Amino acid sequence: MSKPNPHIVILTGAGISAESGLGTFRDVGGLWSRYDWRDLATPEGFARDPGFVLAFYNWRRERVRAARPNPAHVALARLQRHWRGGVTLITQNVDDLHEEAGSEDVIHMHGTHLRALCAACGHRWPAPETMAASDPCPACARPATRPDVVWFGETPYHMDRIGRALTGAGLFVSIGTSGTVYPAAGFAAAARQAGARTCELNLEPSENAGHFDEARHGPASRVVPDWVASLLD
Ligand code: OAD
């Protein structure tokens, strides 16, 4: 017999913030259909042209600061507050819309637009409105400022904690992610192997569709509140 209030582990991706106006990466018109990720989301691209990369992230940061949470973010915050089994919220997103909606202890496995990172000494600080390649690090003074986001070829953050959460999950839910970028794309299979039920909430079946026991398709602003209501109400 399954437990009445299993621990829920949720993974979110760009699709949950799409209706907040932030767009996605791989849909038609998505960021990676307009820009080459090798130029904008790799340490090598940054080394080649830091000014271009920082200008791109300055633009993205401005959009993130202007965006507001949508009903999907709000519903997950409500679930976190009321679900007795506890909810671990992992996001691949570098926006702060989960926090703005009231979620706490969000695991930002791909970092955040709202922090700067010194590529030389690893110091982190709140991101200024705009970053320039000549900005000195407040700790070591070297001009190595970059956004604190995880680029391709770098190791995502908090993987130990995420591994423990997946092992302890009774239910794993993936929301608004295409299931193409590892390690996140492997979480559903890992949670299922550890004994969790798995569920996908996405506009359409993801690349990972075969790893889910249940799926609900549609826009996150509708599907996520409906799913949360089915658990809480
Ligand atoms: P993708 O752009 O790959 O996938 C977005 C998913 O959201 C797709 O499956 C869409 O069908 C779905 N979607 C779009 N609009 C939606 C809506 N309104 N409601 C629900 N679902 C919707 O984005 P991610 O999977 O998040 O990493 O991408 C993963 C990583 O790739 C990102 O974190 C980023 C990117 O390169 C780095 O930059 C390191």
Q: Tell me: the pLDDT tens digits for 36-64? A: 999 999 999 999 999 999 999 999 999 99
Q: Specify which residues 146 forms β-bridges with.
A: 117
pLDDT digits (tens, 9 = 90+) for 153-168: 999 999 999 999 999 9
Q: What is the pLDDT of residue 162?
A: 98
Q: Is the CB of 219 under 6 A from ligand 1?
A: yes
pLDDT at 139 over 80: yes
Residue the block writes with tokens 């582990």: 9
| Best probe residue, ligand 1, of 10, 20, 26 (max atoms within 8 Å of C-beta) | 26
pLDDT digits (tens, 9 = 90+) for 65-88: 999 999 999 999 999 999 999 999
CA–CA gap between residue 57 and residue 64 (Å, rounded): 10
User: Cis peptide before 205, with omega less than 30 degrees from 0?
Assistant: no
Q: How far is the CA of 107 from the centre of ligand 1 (A)?
A: 17
* Nearest Cα residue to atom 26 of ligand 1: 13
The pLDDT confidence band at residue 115, using thresholds 50, 70 and 90, is very high
Fold of 1-22+70-110+156-233: Rossmann fold (3.40.50)
Nearest to residue 64, comparing CAs of 182, 147, 159, 152? 147
Residues of the chain with CATH 3.30.1600.10: 30-66+116-149
Mean pLDDT of 192-201: 98
Q: Is the CB of 108 under 6 A from ligand 1?
A: no
CA–CA gap between residue 42 and residue 27 (Å, rounded): 20
Residues of the chain with CATH 3.40.50.1220: 1-22+70-110+156-233
Nearest to residue 26, comparing CAs of 226, 207, 229, 210? 207
What Å distances lie between residue 81 and 13, 19, 49, 114, 206, CA to CA? 21, 23, 44, 25, 28
Q: How far is the CA of 206 from the centre of ligand 1 (A)?
A: 10
Q: What is the pLDDT of residue 75?
A: 98
CA–CA gap between residue 26 and residue 146 (Å, rounded): 24
Q: How far is the CA of 135 from the centre of ligand 1 (A)?
A: 31
pLDDT at 1 over 70: no
What homologous superfamily is domain 30-66+116-149 in, according to CATH?
Answer: SIR2/SIRT2 'Small Domain' (3.30.1600.10)
The pLDDT confidence band at residue 205, using thresholds 50, 70 and 90, is very high
Count how many residues are written for the chain. Answer: 233
Q: Is the CB of 110 under 6 A from ligand 1?
A: yes
> What pTM value is reported for the model?
0.96
| Best probe residue, ligand 1, of 46, 64, 177 (max atoms within 8 Å of C-beta) | 177
110 is catalytic: yes
Mean pLDDT of the chain: 96
Nearest to residue 208, comparing CAs of 192, 226, 195? 192
The pLDDT confidence band at residue 28, using thresholds 50, 70 and 90, is confident
Q: Could you give the angle at which helices 71-82 and 220-232 cross, rounded to 10 degrees?
A: 20
The secondary structure of residue 16, as a DSSP letter, is G
Give the burial class of 230: count Cβ atoms within 10 A of its Cβ; 0-12 exposed, 13-18 middle, 19 or more buried: exposed
The pLDDT confidence band at residue 180, using thresholds 50, 70 and 90, is very high
CA–CA gap between residue 204 and residue 207 (Å, rounded): 10
CA–CA gap between residue 233 and residue 229 (Å, rounded): 5
Query: Can you read off the two tokens belonging to residue 68?
Result: 């507001």
Neighbours of 126 (CB within 10 A): 8
The secondary structure of residue 13, as a DSSP letter, is -
Rounded to the nearest angstrom, the gap between the alpha carbon of residue 180 and the centroid of all alpha carbons in its chain is 13
Q: How far is the CA of 178 from the centre of ligand 1 (A)?
A: 5
Neighbours of 65 (CB within 10 A): 13
Nearest to residue 56, comparing CAs of 119, 156, 146? 146
